[in-house]
Amino acid sequence: MKKVYIETYGCQMNVADTEVIFSILADNGYGRTEDIGEADVIMANTCSIRDNAEQRIWGRIEQFNIQRRKRSGVVVGILGCMAERLKQALLDSGKVDVVAGPDAYRSLPRLLETASDGHPQIDVLLSREETYGDISPVRIDKNGVSAFISIMRGCNNVCSYCVVPYTRGAERSRDWRTIVREACECRDKGYKEITLLGQNVDSYKFEDVNFAGLLRIVAETFPDIRIRFSTSNPQDISDEVLETMASHSNICRHIHLPVQSGSDRILEKMRRRYTRAWYLDRVAAIKRYMPDCAITTDVIAGFCSETEEDHQQTLSIFREVGFDAAYMFCYSERPGTLAARNYPDDVSQEEKTRRLEEIIALQNGLSQESNLRDLGKTFRVLVEGPSKRSPEELCGRNSQNKMCVWPDTAHKAGDFVDVVVTGCTQATLLCKLA
Ligand code: 5AD
Ligand code: SF4
């Protein structure tokens, strides 16, 4: 049996895809290994979102080639977004034998077989229908507690900075029945938490089931499982979704709502199709339905033509919302996007870095404040396993997706436990058993 080693980069969607890939390969006689030194096939499931993500993968391709030179017959494959973006250029590097885009995973067995005979293979066709809905993913997470389920693929938003519509193609929703079937399999394997994944979950639509409907079906079919989802788009998140969350206690009180910028002028140039006021209105609606709901965000510093004043608007929306956590990035121009074609990348790297550092410093304070507000509160957490610090401590997340740690040798991964917050750091709630 040939052994396959896969490294996964980028978003949770890629983790879910790697699980689909292992399933397709297992059905075709391939086994999985976590030891690159014994792998017959070495692959990376890649991300193109920023230039540094791609640079890191080029570094890994060099490492893969050390194996490829050492052991004849080893096949190196590049999958996912970078495969889709760079296409033939990856094969032309001479360092890669197989290139497969996000919609080409069903052809992987054939591509790998032909490539192992010394013929490099590429399939980067995007599909309007592929959802891998019939496939039962092989779970690769370590703890067996929390699983990702992909509910849709692709993206139709075409934000001007973003490469995803080009690498993942047009948006399509997966049949909700296959989502429920996959959730059943997770439950039967003992999973206690499911995260529904899509680039823009609010535009999920299959037959007459929209995202609120899907949430309701999953939450009510699996009352003992916690439900999370990501990512929401400020333009599309509806009151119906908020109402559904509020009326189901097993849907977690956490919304990831990427703001990207606090300046209307920049939001318009980003083609985000909402304004600062609209965003703040959605935040107010979330808090109205669920006062205890955590809100996290993504932001880009130094987008084309961003001025100091625009940047100040971003800082001020961070203060106004008081995000619980944020992923913060410098703008990275992606070839082929609307921004790359239409606007000069005219904020210097130094200035981008300075603005990013300012946002990070502000958010660090906001995260700390958010955690301080939780002192004395009791939360139900799902145990993930021992904490990083000590085998005498467990860690797990609360509904708001905050990491909690507490002294405990009695419980185990997969248990639900009530804890009281007694202290905090910027990133963690320090607790004791309630
Ligand atoms: N440069 C920097 N950050 C980007 N993101 C998406 N495209 C870019 C880019 N070209 C960020 C956005 C998005 C997150 C996944 O990555 O904030 O929400
Ligand atoms: Fe995920 Fe986007 Fe990276 Fe693709 S480019 S792996 S969709 S984050």
Given the CA of residue 339, which atom of ligand 1 is nearest to it?
10
CATH code assigned at 23: 3.40.50.2300
Say how many domains are in the chain.
Answer: 4
Do residues 105 and 211 both lie within one domain? no
Q: Is residue 423 part of a domain?
A: yes
Q: Is residue 40 part of a domain?
A: yes
Give residue 304 CA to ligand 1 midpoint distance, Å. Answer: 13
Cα(281)–Cα(257) distance, rounded to whole angstroms?
13
Q: Is residue 340 part of a domain?
A: yes
Region label for 94, one of left (φ > 0), alpha (ψ between -120 and 50) or beta (otherwise): left
Region label for 322, one of left (φ > 0), alpha (ψ between -120 and 50) or beta (otherwise): left
CB of 50 closer than 6 angstroms to any ligand 1 atom: yes
Do residues 10 and 117 both lie within one domain? yes
Do residues 118 and 9 both lie within one domain? yes
- Phi then psi for 177, rounded to 5 degrees? -65, -35
Mean pLDDT of 43-62: 98
CATH code assigned at 383: 2.40.50.140
Ligand in closest contact with the CA of 326: 1
Tokens (6 digits) for 315: 């800082």
- The torsion defined by the Cα of 66, 71, 73 and 78, in degrees rounded to 10, comes to -20
Do residues 265 and 354 both lie within one domain? yes
What count of other Cβ atoms lies within 10 Å of the Cβ of residue 300?
Answer: 27
Could you tell me whether strands 416-424 and 378-386 are parallel, antiparallel, or unpaired per DSSP bridges?
Answer: antiparallel
For atom 1 of ligand 2, which residue has the closest CA?
Answer: 11
CB of 334 closer than 6 angstroms to any ligand 1 atom: yes
Do residues 6 and 119 both lie within one domain? yes
CB of 166 closer than 6 angstroms to any ligand 1 atom: no
What is the residue range of 64's domain? 2-123
Could you tell me whether strands 152-153 and 172-173 are parallel, antiparallel, or unpaired per DSSP bridges?
Answer: antiparallel
Of 357, 366, 258, 288, whose CA–CA distance to 320 is shortest?
Answer: 366
End-to-end CA distance of the chain: 50
Cα(31)–Cα(238) distance, rounded to whole angstroms?
43
The pTM assigned to this predicted structure is 0.97
Do residues 246 and 267 both lie within one domain? no
CATH code assigned at 233: 3.30.750.210
Do residues 81 and 172 both lie within one domain? no
For 232-291, how does the pLDDT look when each residue is reduced to its tens digit (9 = 90+)?
A: 999 999 999 999 999 999 999 999 999 999 999 999 999 999 999 999 999 999 999 999
Give residue 388 CA to ligand 1 midpoint distance, Å. Answer: 29
For 114-164, how does the pLDDT look when each residue is reduced to its tens digit (9 = 90+)?
A: 999 999 999 999 999 999 999 999 999 988 999 999 999 999 999 999 999
For 368-387, how does the pLDDT look when each residue is reduced to its tens digit (9 = 90+)?
A: 999 999 999 999 999 999 99
Do residues 262 and 342 both lie within one domain? yes
* Residues within a 6 A CB radius of ligand 2: 10-11, 13-14, 47-49, 80-81, 163-164, 167-168
Rg (CA), the chain: 22
Do residues 275 and 332 both lie within one domain? yes
Do residues 282 and 229 both lie within one domain? no
Do residues 274 and 209 both lie within one domain? no
Cα(336)–Cα(340) distance, rounded to whole angstroms?
6
Do residues 264 and 362 both lie within one domain? yes
Return mean pLDDT, the chain.
97
Question: Which of 105, 157, 164, 200 has most ligand 2 atoms within 8 Å of its beta carbon, as the pocket-test mutant?
Answer: 164
8 upstream amide cis, omega within 30 of 0: no
